[in-house]
Amino acid sequence: MALAKLGVVVLDCPDPRALAGFYAEVLGGTVEGEGDWVDLKVPGGPSLAFQAAPGFVPPKWPSPDRSQQFHLDLVVDDLDAAEKGVLALGAEPLDATDRTRTFRVYADPAGHPFCLCAC
């Protein structure tokens, strides 16, 4: 028996509204809220929230001294099309050169690592 259920995944960042807007373009959904806490209501999936973090230092992937701590795996039908889209939105490729794998690694505009994963 579970003791709890997952409510929301929260990402610390310097600009919650901007990062929520990035993920809204990637995942769809509705951005709600202003200021230090912004929610992204994703259709058919769990919500993401974005919290202002003064002094935010982005993770560095891969690096033991500034570890990623977590990352998001985003499932896509077409890796090349999804890559083109996230790069246009401001993502940075971290490990996307191996075209034989079923995943590619990027950083969002605040520096959080995420993967695009083919089904």
On the question of pLDDT at 4 being above 60, the answer is: no
Q: Which of 39, 14, 113 is nearest to 73 (CA)?
A: 113
> Domain segments of the chain: what residues?
8-55, 57-119
For the whole model, what pTM was predicted? Answer: 0.83
Average of per-residue pLDDT values in the chain? 89
57-119 CATH choice from 3.30.565.10, 3.10.180.10, 3.40.50.720, 2.60.120.580? 3.10.180.10
Q: What kind of architecture, by CATH, is found in domain 8-55?
A: 2-Layer Sandwich (3.30)
- 40 burial (CB, 10 Å; 0-12 / 13-18 / 19+) is buried
Q: What is the pLDDT of residue 3?
A: 58
